[in-house]
Structure 1
Amino acid sequence: MSFLGELRVDATHENLMVISHFVHGIAHRLSLSDKVVFELELAVEEAATNIIDHAYQEAGGKILINAATTGEQVRIELTDWGAPLNPANVRPFDITAPIETRIQGGMGLHFIHTLMDRVERDIAPRSGEPNVLRLFKRIEKETAETRAASPMQELNAVRTISEVMTSRIDLDELLNLILNKLVTTINAERGTLFLIDEQRRELWSRVLLDDLHPLSEIRLKMGEGIAGHVAETGRVVNILDAYADPRFNPAVDQSTGFRTRSILAAPLVNPQQTIIGVVQVLNKRDGAFNARDERLLAALASQAAISIENARLYQQEIHQRVLQRELEMAHGIQASFLPEQIPHVDGWEICDFWEPVRGVAGDFYDFYPLEDGRLALTIADVSGKGVPAALFMALSVTVLRFGVSLNLPPAEVIRRANESIIASQRSRMFATVLLGYLETETGMLQFASAGHNPGLLYRAAEQRCDYITASGVAVGVFPNVDFAENNVRIEHGDILVLYTDGITEAINADEEEFGEERLEALLMEHCDMAAGELCGTIVEAVSAFAEGRALVDDATLVVIKRLGKDVS
């Protein structure tokens, strides 16, 4: 092993440039190729950023970096004394996953392991002890041909694009910066950065560096022209005489008056090895594009593709945050449709549980005191989930409450709600509903159902459970239908459980549903509990059954218990 150098700096973002200079100094001593320099710098910068942001956070600390050669590899070792990071605890990076999952996933770790030949870690058992990260990269040296060109200008170009890779810059600004740097560094007259329009299978010019004509956009079919050929084959193309190449399309020259002499084009390939575009420069000012230019363009195009992917992810993240804020507002608005507080009725205990699966829900429940002293109880489940179901829920709540406020019988309320909903919406959504009026003095419940799950009634005297229901289809499906009405008496000690299918259809690892039988068994076993305690027990049992899996449907639960005669 041959020692090359050591650097100890404070773990701050301002020192990332110092770390970058250290890496480039090592690369210069070893005469490393552009590709190896780029990949080493990117990996070291990402590792140092992880230490700053995660190991130390805002506590501050030191980073120790040393470099050495071992056999045919260069080894760069980073040591910190912050919070240990175990990669096994980081969610793997997946570009196909939803945005919130991708952002939280290990994108930086993915890049490090992709760019390096080998990565080793010594993870400390606790903060304050050294964590060591070793990065290994095979040494590839510059050739005599490539070493002759201006390294400082090219180094600055690589550094500039590396710096914007982790910045949160607007995508258009980023692409303009990248293309300007490419054209300046390679000393070309013009440049175009094409991105692939996946829907139309076309290349389109996202950035055009040409102030001499008003052309706003170029569109090419895949395989058309030089850029289309590069997008289709994924190969760098260097053309000395454009008009002598049969692949060249002179249409742009003819429409603008510009004369293309030579062309150098390279694909933009993201970390998933997917071609996302093409960068093309025209007419080198001091001669022909050479092998050095090809290598430099390919290296910078690789960085540019990662920068573009980062910017896209950031824009998606911003959009996701806006949507999340809107969902939070919608959740608050929807919650305002639900009862602000549970009604207190002497001789009765009532408890509720409501959990949307997507922030907002189609489930709802309601308590409404009638003028004659009865208490109206409603539980309903709208088809679908998320925002559409929540909007339909708002409509359903409104029409049901209006019918209840008129003191109409439960079956008539549901019938009118059905007609109103069918007349007011064209979404073909529907809702199941169970609506009942409870006489709290006698325990008599008058109710109707629109295809909702049957209520589960525990009979204390007989120590058994009955299912209560009435015939009727979901509201919003068929016009001009009638709904049956039933009556049941809730005696002292009896318990009525109303629920939506998010409770009974919770699924475990074996794809089994929780089911009504388990719910009934729970009710029988814990019938001596207070309503609030019983409600919590049911929710915990459903969660345990699902083994921590997220609910697949909105879940609502209402537990109503009539106290014994000797309980005040």
Structure 2
Amino acid sequence: MKTLDFLTVAFSALAIAASAAAAGLFVQRKSQKGEPPSSIIFAVLSFCFLAVGCLGYLFSGAAVVLPVTVFLAVLCLILHVSAESPAVRRADPAAADSGEALFSVPEAETPAMDGDFFPDTGEEPEENTEDALLQIGQEFISHISESMTGGVNLDKLLDFANQTLIRTTKADGGVVFLVDDFEDILNAKAFSGQFPPPYKLPDDLPHKPIRVETSFRYVQLPFKDNLFGEAAVSAEAVLIPDGTADPRVYVNGPEDFLKPGSYIIAPLSIKGKVVGIAGLARLPGNPAFTETEFRTAKTLANYAGAAINNVYCIQEILEHADLERGAEIAAEIQNTLQPKRLPDLPEVGFGFFFQPTKGICGDYCDVILARRDRIALIMADVAGKGMLSSMVMISLRAILHLVTNTTKDAATILDWVNKGITGKINVDHYATLTYVSYSADTHELEYANAGHQPMLLWRSAEKKIERIHQNSDPIGVERTSAYSEIKLTVEPGDIIILYTDGLVEALNAEGVQYGVGGLSKVVAENEDAPAKDIAAAVKHDLKNFLGSATMHDDQSLLVMKIKN
């Protein structure tokens, strides 16, 4: 045999041996992993190619056979190594058989959240615990998002938090309390499962399971002398492996359902502020809570605390928005009730201005042409603000427009208005009111007051201001309140001025009050002007007096001037 033939055969034999060894190694490794040898086919192919090529050369003597088969064997080995690369893996058998992609990058898997989050044996893998807690956190965020659209109420969120804590820690029972900051107590808001009370039950409570559970569901606990209250004060979570051996746990009786087991008490807090308390219990005979479960409960309690605090914030924003909208509606109602255009009569002239303050909506002014021989002037100020004030204002206007058409005097009119309002409104929303009735035929004026600011009367002939006042009750306080009237005669050039306290009690930046003096001064200086110009002059003077000072109440003025 030639030297070339000997070397070729020797090389082929070594290649066959190497391929066989590689095949055996790969089969062994795959078997140890308990997996089918997905890439062993390449090793077998390379072995077959080399064996066939070597035998073909020996029997046929064709030198070209061996190089071709060696090339094919090497190609198979390259594919074999590629298949075993840690950066690439074979797709599932079904995908491979169907002709789909041979290699694919594995996707990250999120553990499914079913009834049990963690295995029952030993300590839970840290990664699984974190994944589970993160998913629960996402569920809390989902509940917060729903609350922004009104889709979930706080009670529903608390029940979700309680059930999640029970399920995650495998507790037998759970309870969630909310902190009442005004009374320093804890109110039970969510309860589920079996939970032996660790606090002292009322002495008169029968030791029956249903009675004890009902009492626990609605209990209010102080911030002392019980585990829950002490945790709220300290803002520290508590793990009690054995309640029977812990002096902080109160044993209420020998009954089995009252025997304490293991407890976790965890504050629901956000940035150090405790908004509630979560309690978890395991019955005697069941394994005590572990440190891992304790840490899990604290983490979930923090999630719940953040969620509850966010719902509080959202509710506050929504309530504020409702108040803002209510104030806007009240302002629209008030503006509608104010006179748009005062009558222009041969006997008298009118002037008026109204300067509202946002959110107050208390002033009401009106001029009613009751009968052909009577003109009624009304100036009222409703206590309180917002929608309730507007409702009182609407009631006042309706009653006044009804009763002023009668021939009754001013005192009787106020008495009817008072009886119509009292008992229909909250006492905090009473109204002060001035009612003036004027007869152009007799030049007689009837004045009646219900706790309102004095009427000012400019006497043209005497060039002075008279202050007309009565001591009387506001409208809506007492149904039995009695009202009287004052009758006056007026002359051409006389001026009647009605106003609210927001005008005369207005303060400038230096804290000085505008006062009746400031109002009287402007009226005296403009006595010869028409009524509407007098009102405009007062408005201008008041604006200059206040400067940049902030208004704190509505300002209203009604002027009636007797013509020549």
TM-score, normalised relative to structure 2: 0.58
**Separation in structure 2 between the aligned mates of residue 456 and residue 390 of structure 1, nearest angstrom:** 27
Please say if 1:191 is aligned against 2:192: no
Match of 1:173 among 120, 134, 156: 156
**Separation in structure 2 between the aligned mates of residue 509 and residue 366 of structure 1, nearest angstrom:** 31
Please say if 1:303 is aligned against 2:303: yes
For 1:488, the aligned partner's letter is V
Task: Give the C-alpha shift of residue 411 in structure 1.
Answer: 5.5
**Separation in structure 1 between the aligned mates of residue 182 and residue 403 of structure 2, nearest angstrom:** 49
CA displacement 1:185-227 (0-9 Å, x = unmatched):
4444433212234566543331223289864515253334432
More strand by share: 1
Specify the structure having the higher radius of gyration (Cα). Answer: 2
What value does the CA root-mean-square deviation take over the aligned residues? 4.6
Does structure 2 retain, via aligned residues, the 8 Å contact 1:204–1:218?
yes
Q: What does residue 153 of structure 1 align with?
A: 132
Q: 1:423 to 1:156 in 2, by over 3 A?
A: closer
Matched residue SS, 1:405: coil
Q: 1:471 to 1:274 in 2, by over 3 A?
A: same
Q: What does residue 502 of structure 2 align with?
A: 502
Please say if 1:366 is aligned against 2:345: no
CA displacement 1:403-445 (0-9 Å, x = unmatched):
5322344466457767887899995956341413152x99x46
Q: What does residue 221 of structure 2 align with?
A: 221
Does structure 1 retain, via aligned residues, the 8 Å contact 2:349–2:530?
no
Matched positions, count? 412
For 1:405, the aligned partner's letter is N
Please say if 1:282 is aligned against 2:289: no
Task: Give the C-alpha shift of residue 148 in structure 1.
Answer: 7.5
**Separation in structure 2 between the aligned mates of residue 424 and residue 185 of structure 1, nearest angstrom:** 54
CA displacement 1:265-312 (0-9 Å, x = unmatched):
2112344x4433211223499965454544443343233223212223
Q: What does residue 182 of structure 1 align with?
A: 165
Q: 1:340 to 1:174 in 2, by over 3 A?
A: same
Task: Give the C-alpha shift of residue 502 in structure 1.
Answer: 1.3
| 1:521-560 map, 5 Å | 521-523=521-523, 535=535, 538-539=538-539, 541-542=541-542, 545-546=545-546, 551-560=551-560
Q: What does residue 265 of structure 1 align with?
A: 265
**Separation in structure 1 between the aligned mates of residue 403 and residue 218 of structure 2, nearest angstrom:** 61
Task: Give the C-alpha shift of residue 504 in structure 1.
Answer: 0.6
| 1:412-423 map, 5 Å | 413-414=413-414
Q: 1:355 to 1:498 in 2, by over 3 A?
A: same
CA displacement 1:74-95 (0-9 Å, x = unmatched):
xxxxxxxxxxxxxxxxxxxxxx
**Separation in structure 2 between the aligned mates of residue 424 and residue 297 of structure 1, nearest angstrom:** 52
CA displacement 1:515-541 (0-9 Å, x = unmatched):
122223444566787755654564465
For 1:228, the aligned partner's letter is G
Q: 1:400 to 1:162 in 2, by over 3 A?
A: closer
For 1:245, the aligned partner's letter is D
**Separation in structure 1 between the aligned mates of residue 155 and residue 254 of structure 2, nearest angstrom:** 25
Please say if 1:205 is aligned against 2:188: yes
Q: What does residue 96 of structure 1 align with?
A: none
Does structure 2 retain, via aligned residues, the 8 Å contact 1:193–1:208?
yes
| 1:108-507 map, 5 Å | 150-165=129-144, 167-168=146-147, 169-197=152-180, 201-210=184-193, 215-216=213-214, 217=217, 219=219, 221-222=221-222, 223-251=224-252, 254=255, 257=257, 261-271=261-271, 273-283=272-282, 289-319=289-319, 338-339=338-339, 341-346=341-346, 348-353=349-354, 355=356, 358-361=359-362, 363-382=363-382, 397=397, 400-410=400-410, 413-414=413-414, 427=427, 429=430, 431-437=432-438, 439=440, 444=443, 446-450=445-449, 452-456=452-456, 466-469=465-468, 471=470, 473-474=472-473, 479=481, 482-491=484-493, 496-507=496-507
Runs (5+) with no aligned partner, structure 2: 1-123, 196-208
Q: 1:149 to 1:239 in 2, by over 3 A?
A: farther
Runs (5+) with no aligned partner, structure 1: 1-144
**Separation in structure 2 between the aligned mates of residue 506 and residue 287 of structure 1, nearest angstrom:** 72
Matched residue SS, 1:512: coil
- State which drifts further: 475-484 or 161-170: 475-484
Task: Give the C-alpha shift of residue 558 in structure 1.
Answer: 1.5
Q: 1:537 to 1:162 in 2, by over 3 A?
A: farther
For 2:245, the aligned partner's letter is A
Q: 1:263 to 1:473 in 2, by over 3 A?
A: closer
For 2:277, the aligned partner's letter is V
Does structure 2 retain, via aligned residues, the 8 Å contact 1:414–1:483?
no
**Separation in structure 2 between the aligned mates of residue 419 and residue 184 of structure 1, nearest angstrom:** 61
> Identity over aligned residues, as a percent?
23
Task: Give the C-alpha shift of residue 499 in structure 1.
Answer: 0.8
Q: 1:235 to 1:555 in 2, by over 3 A?
A: same
Does structure 2 retain, via aligned residues, the 8 Å contact 1:497–1:560?
yes
Does structure 2 retain, via aligned residues, the 8 Å contact 1:161–1:300?
no
Does structure 1 retain, via aligned residues, the 8 Å contact 2:456–2:468?
no
For 2:135, the aligned partner's letter is N
Does structure 1 retain, via aligned residues, the 8 Å contact 2:349–2:531?
no
Does structure 1 retain, via aligned residues, the 8 Å contact 2:491–2:562?
no
Q: What does residue 73 of structure 1 align with?
A: none
Q: 1:191 to 1:430 in 2, by over 3 A?
A: closer
**Separation in structure 2 between the aligned mates of residue 307 and residue 446 of structure 1, nearest angstrom:** 65
Does structure 2 retain, via aligned residues, the 8 Å contact 1:153–1:185?
no
Q: 1:427 to 1:161 in 2, by over 3 A?
A: closer
